[in-house]
A and B are shown apart, each in its own frame.
Chain A
Amino acid sequence: MMRFGVIRFHGSNCDRDCYHVVDRVLQQPVYWIEQNQKDLAGVDVVLIPGGFSYGDYLRAGAIAARTPVMDAVREFAERGGLVLGICNGFQILCEAGLLPGALMVNASLRFACHFAHVRVEAVDTPFTWALSPGAVLRIPIAHHQGNFQPDVTPFQGRVLFRYCDAEGHIVPAANPNGSWEAVAGIANGRGNVVGMMPHPERCSEAVLGATDGVGIFRSLLCWWEEVGGYDV
């Protein structure tokens, strides 16, 4: 049994989708975490959902990154706790300094809302544990600021997912936002904090027409069972 927490900020709008996947698809315990909460005791993994927290004012994720709950997330991550930020959650983690880099406006200046293919680049993290190296996942994206740029070179984080074509080739036409190295998702060096622009919670059930996202959530459960957790 793995206990999940889903953070809700003013303006989050994928929070219920995340909660639903954990509750109904993974059938694991799941709790709401509020933006002013200062304690994450009792959860093993924190999900930071997509949306437009605080209206995306100033910069996407900038205000949410400076709320009390993010101090708690920072401590949780330092102790080895698992954190997954999806879309706006990825932007928040970068703004909070928990992931290296920044998400800029898409190079096209357009909101990108369609299915994208991503290639799995590393399987030695809890979030990709049950996936195959080089596997191609079809996951929807919906963002205006997903153009990832690293803070320094060489890049200090780890690349987990890259935009590719249906065959897994990294080609410019498959990069929807101009991201450096076609990055769709990254981890910190330690591998316990992950951010990704694609929305796995939107494609985790057959009734939704796509199920490639569930492998990321199931990876967490497999890792939890095989490795036996971490010292929090």
Chain B
Amino acid sequence: MRVNVYIRLKGGVLDPEGETIKNSLQGLHFSEVQSVRAGKVFQLELSEEDPARARQRSEEMCRQLLANPVIEDYQIEIMEPPS
């Protein structure tokens, strides 16, 4: 089963990278861009067929390693297995 894990900085945390990307987009005349938050995506392939179990294990991975809970939030997306 494939799982996508999205890591983002928490709301109140300053994101100088996102800020710089926003400034660059505005410099390219995308003046509608109000804000940019940078993040990371991990694509996991799990030898696990049960979506609930895959989610639970992925959350454990986020807590133990993939995200730093001081500054980051995570979001888990379970991809349907190919039929």
Interface residues, chain A, CB within 8 Å of chain B? 58-59, 62, 66, 94-95, 101-102, 104-109, 149, 151, 178
With beta carbons under 8 angstroms apart, the residue of A95, A104, A109 that contacts B13 is A104
Q: Is the CB of A108 within 8 A of B13?
A: no
B residues near A66, Cβ cutoff 8 Å: 64-65
Query: Which residue of the partner chain A has the closest CB to B40?
Result: A58
B residues near A94, Cβ cutoff 8 Å: 70
| Interface residues of B, dominant DSSP | helix
| Interface residues of A, dominant DSSP | loop
- Smallest CB separation, A179 vs chain B (Å): 11
Q: Could you list some 13 contacts between A and B, CB below 8 A?
A: A58-B65, A59-B68, A101-B70, A102-B70, A104-B13, A104-B14, A105-B16, A108-B16, A149-B13, A149-B70, A149-B71, A178-B14, A178-B16
Interface residues, chain B, CB within 8 Å of chain A? 13-14, 16-17, 20, 64-66, 68, 70-71
Greatest chain A CB density within 10 A among B66, B68, B71 is at B68
Greatest chain B CB density within 10 A among A104, A105, A106, A109 is at A104
Q: Is the CB of A62 within 8 A of B14?
A: no
- Smallest CB separation, B73 vs chain A (Å): 13
B residues near A178, Cβ cutoff 8 Å: 14, 16
A residues near B14, Cβ cutoff 8 Å: 104, 107, 178
- Smallest CB separation, B26 vs chain A (Å): 17
